[in-house]
Amino acid sequence: MKSKKTYRSVQYKNFRQAMIHLLETDFQILGSGQVLELLADNILRLIQDYYPDRVPPGTTLISAISKDAPKGHHRGVKGLPQVPVKLDVITEDIIRRYAGGERVRDIKKSYVIDLFTQAYRQGGVLSCSDVAILAKMSAATISKYVREHMTTHEEIIPTRGFIHDIGPSISHKGIIVGKYLQGTLPDKIARQTNHSQTAVDRYIRDYERVKLCLTQNMDTTLIHRTTGLSTTLIKRYTELYHTNEGEPHE
């Protein structure tokens, strides 16, 4: 109960409430709270209609790498195309969840995931380091939240590492191959996971290579030498094979 009271006042610290206070005091508009709230909401709608490019309170504007930037490791950040993205950092939903006593870790986790998706909808991709700075957390914590969400929901989060195929992106490859083994067509997988058709085809092709090696009773070390894939990825594909297609692993 104490936790709810701690955050309850935050929900009144916004432009809308400041407008209601202005109407009450400076203009001495009398009436029920509902009338003042309706006036404030109408004024907010007019501002949004006539000044759509404004950055409202609780929102920040940052520069993100374009989601259409070249993929892979061959380029650093310098020289890559960038796009401006508006990100909601304080929302009524977040305030309600704090005021409602929801577990702080759960709020942080969904907030982190939402930042990645907000940027992607506007044509940009954020790295875990970008979100770490915005959320005042470590990049390792951000990465952990992303992995946990993808494992629980089997949903690809559009981080820069996953969209541009950089970094140790084992989790999303496993999800993509898992969808393939469930009978989802590759073109649909590409749409569902925010990946290019080329990338999806490559992951499926790599899985089929591992699968062929497994049918020849090759161990992980030999498969690594044969395919050039990492042992971690081979082990993940092996798990998928035994779960979906092969004989149970003894």
Tens-digit pLDDT profile for residues 42-78: 888 888 777 767 777 888 888 888 888 876 655 567 6
For the cut 70, the answer to whether the pLDDT of residue 11 exceeds it is: no
Position 72 scores a pLDDT of 60
CA pair distance 83, 227, nearest whole angstrom: 37
CB 67 within 8 A of CB 86: no
pLDDT digits (tens, 9 = 90+) for 208-250: 999 999 999 999 999 999 999 888 888 888 988 888 876 544 4
The yes-or-no verdict on residue 150 having pLDDT over 70 is yes
Average pLDDT over residues 171-177: 80
Q: How much is the mean pLDDT over the chain?
A: 83
DSSP string, the chain: -HHHHHHHGGGG-SHHHHHHHHHHHTS---S-HHHHHHHHHHHHHHHHHH-TT---TTEEEEEEEETTSPPSSSS-STTS-EEEEEEESS-HHHHHHHHTT--HHHHHHHHHHHHHHHHHHTTEEB-HHHHHHHHTS-HHHHHHHHHHHHHHH-----BHHHHTT-S--HHHHHHHHHHHHTT--HHHHHHHTT--HHHHHHHHHHHHHHHHHHHTT--HHHHHHHH---HHHHHHHHHHHHHHTSPPP-
Q: Which two tokens stand for residue 25?
A: 């005091």
Per-residue pLDDT tens over the stretch 112-139: 999 999 999 999 999 899 999 999 999 8
More confident residue, 59 or 172: 59
Say yes or no to pLDDT of 91 above 80: yes
Question: Which residues touch 235 (CB under 8 Å, ≥6 apart)?
Answer: 220
Predicted pLDDT of residue 26 = 75
Span 22-29, average pLDDT: 75
Instruction: Report whether pLDDT(31) > 80.
Output: no
Rg (CA), the chain: 24
Number of neighbours of residue 20 by Cβ within 10 angstroms: 20
CB atoms within 10 A of CB 40: 19
105: left (phi over 0), alpha (psi -120 to 50) or beta: alpha
| Mean pLDDT computed over 11-26 | 76
